[in-house]
Amino acid sequence: MYGKGILKGLSVTWKRFWDTYTEDISWMLSGKKRYYTEEGIKHRASKHTKGIFTVQYPEEQLIQPEEFRYVPFLVYDEGAEGKKEVRCTSCGICAKVCPPQCIWIVRSNDPNTGRPIPEPTEFYIDADVCMNCGFCAEYCPFDAIIMDHDFDIASYTRNVYGMDKLLKPASYYKNIRPENYERNDAERKAKEAARAAKAAAKPAAPAS
């Protein structure tokens, strides 16, 4: 019969149409909220989702997985009296590995001795050039540069980020990437313990 295929196809769209409403109604009847709740968003990103499962951005947003990466930031540890202990040692690996070359570091020198000290005076990331590949965070030996989760950075000006905008506390890092933070923290502690053990085992250096 001519038109059978069309009707068959229409049954799919028809089912989809009703699925959206039955889904909404069944959620309503069970007293749960399908929209604007974490549970609802999670359900709409699972295999069970039926009908239309649009997430109503920006009122509700998809839950970002931990590994989500956007323009990186610099981590500092909160020292005593709110002192910012920047983890970065300005070794320059991030700038070297960056594919679009959007990282610019100015190393600092001790004003008295002129010797380099392991902290950057200036650190720039051109967020307009950054391709969010995550290499800088991946290959940083000090976990000093981490990919951010903050993605809505549209602005009227160029987004060249300096230290003032890049520096974020370790607590923020822990907040957005708990698992990575735990892993890194354990590694750092192990490294420190190993260093301390080595220093203790080494006999006192002979006076020269």
Partner 1 sequence: MNTDRIVVNMGPHHPSTHGVFRAALTLDGETIVGLKPVVGYLHRNHDKIGERNTFLQNMPYTDRLDYFNSMSNNLGYAITVEKLMNIPVAERAEYIRVIMAELSRVQNHLVFIGMLLNDLGAMYTPALYAFEERELILDIFEAVSGARMMCNYLRFGGVVRDIPPYVMQKIKDLVTDRLPAKTDEMERLLSENEVFVSRLKGVRVVDAETAIKYSVTGPVLRAAGVPYDLRRADPYSIYDRFDFDVAVRQNGDMMDNYLIRLDEIRQSLRILEQAVKQIPDGPINSQKPAYQVRVPAGEAYGRIESPKGELAFYVVSNGKPNPWRYHVRPASFVNITCLEQMCIGTKIADFVALLGMLDIVMGELDR
Which lies closer to partner 1 via its Cβ, residue 45 or residue 194? 45
* Smallest gap from residue 82 Cβ to partner 1 (A): 31
Pairing type for strands 145-148 and 160-161 reads: unpaired
Closest CA to 185 of 168, 167, 171, 199: 171
Residue 51 DSSP code:
S
Distance CA 132, CA 176 (A): 17
Question: What is the closest distance, in whole angstroms, from the C-beta atom of residue 9 to partner 1 in the complex?
Answer: 5
Least Å distance, CB 70 to partner 1, is 9
Binding site for partner 1 (CB under 8 A): 2-6, 8-9, 11-13, 16, 45-47, 53, 62, 64-69, 93, 96-99, 131-135, 138-139, 147
Residue 73: CB minimum distance to partner 1, A? 15
* Nearest of 125, 139, 145, 149 to residue 67 by alpha carbon: 149
Which lies closer to partner 1 via its Cβ, residue 3 or residue 79?
3
